[in-house]
Amino acid sequence: MSGETPNVPNPEKIVSIKEKIQKAVQKLVQEVKETGRPASIEIMETDRWVLQILVVPPGTVRYGATTVQRQEPGVLLSIRSRALWRNNLTIRDLDGIMSLKRLIDEFVNDKELFEAVGLVLTTKETTPVRKVSLDEI
């Protein structure tokens, strides 16, 4: 870690990851065009949730709260339940990601609200997050 500045993104690494994800998405787009069915790649997971890139077929289709209308397959970010595949949140763009991040950040940073909600929920265990290897994509 010598010479690295913590919490500062590495531009070369960003480009490398982007290229790997783009190649994987191109394969998924081809698959969706051939089958007419959605396809996805997983990016991160816990024992309960999966963060994935979802490629959906063209047309007017609802995925969670998102309606997709286009001639080409759509590329979306999806957070889905590991157990209940229909329990998901689908995000169309960077603005949606940032809005969700703001909501979660505000919730986590409001210590009193966060603790109070935590006491009301039925389970309080924490789970590790696993990044899916880019070689798996």
Q: pLDDT under 50 in the chain at which residues?
A: none
Q: Which helix (H) or strand (E) holds 29?
A: helix 11-35
pLDDT of residue 68: 62
Show the domains of the chain with their CATH numbers.
11-91+128-136 (3.30.720)
For residues 41-75, one letter each, b for 16 or more C-beta atoms within 10 angstroms of the residue's C-beta and e for the rest, the string is bbbebeeebbbbbbbbbeeeeebbebebeeeebbb
Q: What is the pLDDT of residue 136?
A: 66
pTM for the model: 0.68
- Rounded distance between C-alpha atoms, residue 27 and residue 59, angstroms: 19
